[in-house]
Amino acid sequence: MLLGRLSQISPHTEACLNTISRSQSTASIVVAPSVSSRPPLTRTTLNRVKSKPIYLPTTRHTARSFTTTVANMASATSFYGFETKDKKGKAYPLAQHQGKVILAVNTASKCGFTPQFGGLENLWKKVQSNEKYKNDFLILGFPCNQFGGQDPGSDDQIQEFCQVNYGVTFPVLGKTEVNGNNAEPVFEWMKAEKPGLMGLKRIKWNFEKFLIGRDGRVIQRWASTTSPEKLEADIMKELEKSKPAAKAEL
């Protein structure tokens, strides 16, 4: 079959390919010789072709993004070792929340799960109302447009939507990506720390949730279908378990 396809190259096509080959300085295109002068296609030849590596082209942006992600993941050993962007596009170091229990959620404003904003806000306020833990817990929203294009607005539009429709008061950061070459490094790290069902790391949809302990490690991961109301017991358990010991009075 392969011989048949190679023999279909017309003299005109062969001439064009030869022209391209001469004009390329960084890559060479080798035109197959005519059938009459080509050596037999043996099993050894096929095995040699199969063994050659295939290099996929990458853009400067992709290579730079991948390098940055790897560097960040290599240097960070906890959630608090990463840096992301806030709603204004400025650097937002997660180290500022070190020692707190964090619920990280990839959000969207036009999704069937978008009403979970209301549940997250209620959960946030409920913990905030507890004097014992009000400074020990934080919810962080990470807007993402990767799932069905369901968060298409600008950062300002997303902030307005969250506040007007659900009265959100917990931090909703700048729009980001959670899968692929441009994924937020902290999400790449969280996915590796706590894979989903069957060991799959990818975020499957909007409103997946990660619970981070005071030590910066991933404690739990929940799917989009798990409502915020069902998280309260686990969050309170983590807050109580990891509460710093009271200092002895002098």
DSSP states along 103-166 = EEEEE-SSSTTTTHHHHHHHHHHHHHT-TTTTTTEEEEEEEB-TTTT---S-HHHHHHHHHHHH
**Token pair listed for 61:** 């942006």
Helix ranges, 2-142 (H): 2-6, 11-23, 43-51, 60-75, 116-128
CA angle, corner 215, sides to 139 and 194, nearest 5? 70
d(CA 215, CA 12): 67
Query: Active-site residues: which are they?
Result: 111
SS3 category, 209: strand
Residue 141, classified by CB atoms within 10 Å of its CB into exposed (0-12), middle (13-18) or buried (19+), is buried
